Each structure stands twice: as C-alpha cells, then as structure tokens.
C-alpha cells in the first residue's frame, strides 16, 4: 500500500471518529422533558437546577437530567393493624397522590426518586394503624367514613411535610379474623330474633288493648247486652254440649217459640 493511501485511510478514520464524537456531544447536549414531569439537572452528580417540560439544554458529559413525574399517581398497598378492642384487621388501601413540582429538588436530594417505597408506603401503614386504633372492630364497619377521614388527615399532614400531595384516600375493604366474623353473624341473628319477638309482643299488646277498648265502649253505651254476649259465645262455641248440666241457667239460652 502506498504512503498516500495510508494517509488517506488515517484521515478517513480520524474523520469518522470525529463525526461520532460530535454526534455524541450533540445528542448529550439536550434532553426532552415530557408533559406532567419535571427535570432535575445534576452537574457531576450534584443537583444544579429544576427544569420544566420541554427541550432542555445541558453541558455534554458534565450534566445529566433526571425526570420526576408530577401527575397524579395511584398506589395500592395491603395494610394490617389492630382495632381499639385488639381485633386484628387487614385492609387494602388505595391512594392518589402527586409530587409538588417546584419542590422536586428537595425530594430528590432528601429522599430520592424512589420516594414511593421510602416514605409513601410506610406512611400509609402508619396512618392506617393510627386510625384503626381509635375505633372498635365493629365501629370500623359502621363508621367507615370516620375511619377514612381520620387516616386521610393523618396521611395528608405527614406527606405534605415531604412535598407529596395526597389527592384521595380510600379504604377498599376490611378483613377480620374468622372468629370475629362468626361472632358478628351470631350477634346479627340474635338482634333479628329480638326484633321479631318485640314486634310480636307489640302486636299482641295492641290487639288486647283494642279488644279492651271495644268492650269498654260497649259497656258505656249500654250495648253489651246478654243477647250480644250470647252471640259472642256462639261464635266461640265448638258445637259440643257440656256433659254435666245443673239446674241453673242453661249453657245457651235459646228462646223457644
């Protein structure tokens, strides 16, 4: 190979390497932050600034951009706690939250991009335990909205200090031990039987009072005659004459024409 050919080959390699390096520098000189996110620009690993969605220019190989989502996100965790009367309760908690965009640098510096696992999940567990400890197991069912409000306020206050905004909080379900569920079922059956007995007693009392009132009215108006009493006796007579008849008044005084 001639010397001129070697020189041409060297120039070609150098040119190709230069073009590649130039493209690398160009591609690393900007990044795109999508809508619903913010960018944290670091310089040699240290936080330098926060940038809004759009095209972001940076110093190649020196600065790096990390995106953090500010849109509402959903988190669902399984929580376990004890009620005021020491009944074990499990629940599924659904949480909607978002990052305070202007405080993204503080979140990144103090917590990191994995803030969900580090602070949100433990905070949900803590809020659920704090709320359920104020209610008995039965109240957790009958006062579900109050339990939700208590946990929501606790969680909202705790995460707000960490620049995480709680949008919504829901307790999807409550799950108790088998013994407690059986006790609740037995109590409901007993309450139903008691209600039925009270209703039957009230009905009988009302009927008895009605009959007493009717008889009082008849006596006061003079309509409770011997003929009317005989009529009532005939309605209740089973058609069988008594086996022993004395010399007194006949059992049924039927006038003979």
Q: Identify the burial level of 48 via C-beta atoms within 10 angstroms of its C-beta, where 0-12 means exposed, 13-18 middle and 19 or more buried.
A: middle
Residues 96 and 171 reside in one and the same domain? yes
b/e code 22-31 from CB counts within 10 Å (16+ = b): eeeeeeeeeb
| Residue 152 near residue 166, CB atoms below 8 Å | yes
Confidence check: pLDDT of 43 > 50? yes
What is the pLDDT at residue 256?
46
**Is 186 inside any structural domain?**
no
What is the pLDDT at residue 115?
92
Residues 83 and 168 reside in one and the same domain? yes
What is the pLDDT at residue 63?
86
Residues 145 and 226 reside in one and the same domain? no
Residues 120-141: pLDDT tens digits?
999 999 999 999 999 998 888 8
Round to the nearest angstrom and report the end-to-end CA distance of the chain.
Answer: 159
| 123 Cβ contact list (under 8 Å, min separation 6) | 155, 158, 159
Residues 89-113: pLDDT tens digits?
989 999 999 998 888 888 988 898 8
d(CA 31, CA 39): 9
**What CATH number should be reported for the domain holding residue 152?**
3.30.479.30
Residues 56-73: pLDDT tens digits?
888 887 888 888 888 999
pTM for this prediction: 0.60
**Is 183 inside any structural domain?**
no
């Amino acid at each position: 190979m001639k010397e001129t050919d070697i020189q041409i080959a060297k120039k070609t390699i150098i040119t190709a390497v230069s073009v590649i390096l130039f493209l690398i520098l160009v591609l690393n000189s900007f990044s795109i932050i999508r809508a619903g996110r913010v960018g944290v620009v670091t310089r040699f690993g240290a936080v330098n600034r926060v940038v809004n969605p759009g095209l972001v220019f940076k110093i190649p190989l020196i600065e790096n951009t990390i995106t953090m989502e500010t849109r509402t996100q959903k988190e669902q965790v399984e929580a376990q706690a004890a009620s005021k009367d020491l009944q074990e309760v499990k629940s599924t908690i659904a949480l909607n939250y978002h990052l305070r965009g202007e405080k993204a640098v503080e979140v990144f510096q103090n917590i990191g991009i994995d803030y969900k696992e580090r602070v949100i999940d433990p905070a949900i567990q803590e809020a659920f335990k704090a709320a359920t400890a104020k209610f008995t197991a039965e109240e957790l069912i009958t006062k579900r909205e109050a339990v939700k409000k208590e946990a929501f306020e606790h969680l909202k206050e705790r995460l707000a200090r960490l620049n995480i905004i709680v949008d919504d909080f829901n307790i999807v379900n409550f799950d108790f031990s088998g013994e407690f569920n059986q006790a609740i079922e037995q109590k409901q059956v007993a309450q139903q039987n008691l209600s039925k007995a009270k209703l039957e007693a009230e009905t009988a009392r009302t009927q008895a009072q009605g009959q007493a009132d009717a008889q009082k009215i008849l006596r006061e108006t003079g309509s409770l005659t011997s003929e009317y009493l005989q009529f009532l006796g005939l309605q209740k007579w089973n058609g069988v004459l008594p086996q022993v008849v004395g010399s007194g008044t006949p059992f049924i005084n039927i006038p003979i024409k």
